[in-house]
Amino acid sequence: MAKPFLKWAGGKGKLAPLIVERIGRGPNGINRYHEPFLGGGAVFFALQEAGLIRDASLADSNPDLIATYQAVRDDAEGVIAALDTLSRRYLARESSQRGLYYYEVRNQHRLRRPDRKAARLLFLNKTCYNGLYRVNSKGHFNVPHGRYVNPTILDADRLREASASLAGTELHAEDFAEACARAQPGDFVYLDPPYQPLSATSQFTKYTSGDFGFADQERLRDAFDDLTARGVPALLSNSSHPDIHDLYRDYDRELVPMGRAINSNGRGRAAIDELLVSNLSRAEGKAGGSPAQTQAV
C-alpha cells in the first residue's frame, strides 16, 4: 500500500479515488499510465494500489524531484541510511539549534551521490516551512526552516513501499509537452498542472524557478487537443477559473468539491470546487463513461 513520501503543494490525495473510479471504467484497462506533472504522485500511488497500472511513465519539470524518485526506486536502502543520519543529527539537537543544522543541510548544493541528494531533498521537505518547494534564480532551494516540534523525517516502510511501486516505471525530468507526446492510444494520461490562481495575489503557481503562466496553460490545452486528436484518453484538473473553463469549453467538464477549505468572509470554511476536464467521450471509446456524483458544468 504505497503512499506519497513527500509533502507537495497541490497534492491530489483527496481527488485520487475519483480519478481511480473514472479510469477504472475503461473497458480494456490501461496499457500505460502517464503522469506529466508528477509532484507528490498521489494519483499514481492510488492507481497502483487499486491494481490499475501495469506500466507507467512519470514526469515532472523539476529535475531534483525526479532524481529523488529515481533514487527511491533504485536504491531505497541507500536513501533510508542517508536520511536516517540527517534525521538523527537534527533531532538530537535542542529545538532552538535545529534551524542551524537545517541551513547547513540546505547549503549543500553540490552533493553528487544520488542517495545523499535524495535524502537531502526529503529532509528539507519534512523540516522546511509548510513543506514548500521553492528555488532561487540559481536553482538553489530557499525555503526557510519550519516550525514542526517533532517531525517524522524518516518513514522507512513508506520509502520501501514506494520503491516497490516505482520499480519498472520510467521517470523523466522534462516539460509536459514531451511527456504527452510519448502517450499512445490505449494509454491514459492524468494532467495536474500548477493551477491558474483564483486571486491575483495567490502564489500557488510558484513551483519551480519559472512560473507557470497563462501561455503555459494555453500550451497545455494544445497538448490536450493533440492527445484527443490522437485518441489518447486524458483527464486534467485545474482551478475552476473562468479562463480555464473557456480554454476547455469543447470538453466534458465537471466541478469536484475538494476537501481543501478556505475562510470565506470570516463566516466559517467553505470547500472549494475544482475543475476536472475529460476527453474520454471524444477519445472514442478507448476508455470512459459519463461522469457521476459530481456536478457537470
Residues near ligand SAM (CB under 6 A):
8, 10-12, 36-37, 39-40, 42-43, 60-62, 175-176, 192-194, 207-208, 212, 216
The three three-digit cell numbers of residue 261, written as one number: 477549505
Least distance from ligand SAM to the Cβ atom of residue 272, Å: 14
Q: Least distance in Å: CB of 99 to ligand SAM? A: 26
- The residue among 52 and 81 lying less far from ligand SAM, judged by its C-beta, is 52
Output 37 or 251, the one with its CB closest to ligand SAM: 37
* Residues 29, 5: Cα–Cα separation, whole Å: 27
Minimum CB separation from ligand SAM for residue 63, in Å?
Answer: 10
Closest to ligand SAM by CB, 43 vs 101, is 43
For 6-27, letters b (16+ CB in 10 Å) and e give: bebbbbbeebbebbeebbeebe
Residue recorded with cell 502517450: 183
CB 37 → ligand SAM: shortest distance, Å?
A: 4
CA atoms of 157 and 72, how far apart (whole Å): 12
DSSP of 167-220, one letter per residue? TT-EEEES-HHHHHHH--TT-EEEE-PPPPPSSTT--TT-SSSS---HHHHHHH
Indicate the residue among 30 and 98 with the shorter CB distance to ligand SAM: 30
Task: Return the beta strands (E) in the chain as ranges.
Answer: 33-35, 56-60, 170-173, 188-191, 234-239, 252-263, 269-278, 295-296
Nearest distance from C-beta of residue 12 to ligand SAM, angstroms: 4
Q: Which residue is nearest to ligand SAM (CB)?
A: 39
Shortest Cβ distance from residue 279 to ligand SAM (Å)? 18
Cβ-based nearer residue to ligand SAM, 16 or 232: 16
- Please name every residue paired with 33 in a beta bridge, in sequence order, or none if there are none: 56, 188
Q: Which is nearer to ligand SAM, 22 or 98 (CB)?
A: 22
